[in-house]
Amino acid sequence: MMDMMADKINLVEFEKDYHDGKCYHRRAEQFARKGHYFSLIFNIAAIALERYLVALCDLYGIMPQNHNYTCLMDTLEEIMDFPLALNKEIRSLDLIFGICSLENYHHGAPESSDANQILSMCNEVRQLIAQTALVQKK
């Protein structure tokens, strides 16, 4: 009975986090199409990516210790086969965002290529979620 309840909670959390990710992702893409500043596009897409990664954790019922990209990827590596190249790309974002460290806090200035790269990462992770969610339902 507890497992069914935990699964239901995980599914509710997954749906919320995945929905949030899709909304931020869609907004970042709208901003990109309208020619907004790439720093705005990057920052909105960064939130989308974080929500997508948390949603993946929700699917497996595991909560990461922290929501920076390194901790999220460390958690995901433990529970699933995550594409290596995408893993490395996502981890590299912590070079721009050092926001979860009190000692080394920094927020770098993303460039145009960073905005394009993170939108691509969002698309790849969204696709990965779709594939993983289908496997989870079987």
Helix, strand or coil for residue 40? helix
Structural contact between residues 122 and 54, judged by C-beta atoms closer than 8 angstroms: no
The two tokens of residue 69 are 């990209």
Read off the tokens for 40.
């705005």
The pLDDT tens digits of the residues spanning 1-24 come to 334 444 565 889 999 999 999 999
- The tally of domains found in the chain comes to 1
What is the domain range of residue 56? 2-137
- This prediction's pTM: 0.86
The pLDDT assigned to 105 comes to 53
Q: For residue 61, what is the domain's CATH number?
A: 1.20.120.330
- First-to-last CA distance in the chain? 20
Provide the phi-psi class of 61: left if phi over 0, else alpha when psi is between -120 and 50, else beta: left
